[in-house]
Structure 1
């Protein structure tokens, strides 16, 4: 892996973790001060996660400038690995079937974002 691709991955991961942090704060405040219930919250968090992983893939793809699907996939896999390690080491639980499907969607969103990010950069003249 080239240094440029590794740097792109770091940008993608930092963007994802930063956006997840901000989103979780906003959602916790909404949950506290509104009448939002658990079923609505689960759908909102799923949509937010897909959008955030897509944005992280776009950022990584734009920084990497080539092989967007690989950079996007590694961005999504890195987030999934981080989530799995926190859950496994912190709570001694593995992924359920539902979580595995959700994280597959996250990885696919990051892949699409990576491809779009690379193509956004390729469209520019240097």
Structure 2
């Protein structure tokens, strides 16, 4: 029971950090689009890179909080993020993931796993 609370807490920290970083970057990108002559298509790669960095950071935080099984914590964090986005898209917008979005979310989960692994390894190194 105690370990499941610990896992849930680590995933929650990761998800909160992901959503805070995504909201912040979305505001910055929208301000750039509003007050400059940039077009959304010119920011596509920057938005993708920021998304991957954000998911990596969320996995890193999950792994650091959990201190063990980083691949598992990162994977669950990435999967939970993708599930939340899918439910919002499906229930709110009445759409399913396209094949491109599905591939992105698989990559998000994998990058979150990598962040979780690194988070566990760095948290262990700092306490030893």
TM-score, normalising length: structure 2: 0.94
Alignment of 1:13-92 (within 5 A): 13-92=15-94
Instruction: Report the alpha carbon displacement of residue 2 of structure 1 after superposing the two structures with TM.
Output: 2.1
CA distance in 2, matches of 1:85, 1:41: 26
RMSD: 1.1
TM-score, normalising length: structure 1: 0.95
Instruction: Report the alpha carbon displacement of residue 124 of structure 1 after superposing the two structures with TM.
Output: 2.2
CA distance in 2, matches of 1:81, 1:125: 33
Q: Deviations over 1:41-74 (max 9, x none)?
A: 2222211110000000000000000000000001
Q: Which runs of 5+ in 2 are unaligned?
A: none
Q: Give the match for residue 2 of structure 1.
A: 4
Instruction: Report the alpha carbon displacement of residue 96 of structure 1 after superposing the two structures with TM.
Output: 0.3
Q: Give the match for residue 123 of structure 2.
A: 121
Q: Which runs of 5+ in 1 are unaligned?
A: none
Q: Give the match for residue 108 of structure 1.
A: 110
CA distance in 2, matches of 1:84, 1:64: 25
- 4+ runs deviating over 3 angstroms: none
Give the length in aligned residue pairs: 126
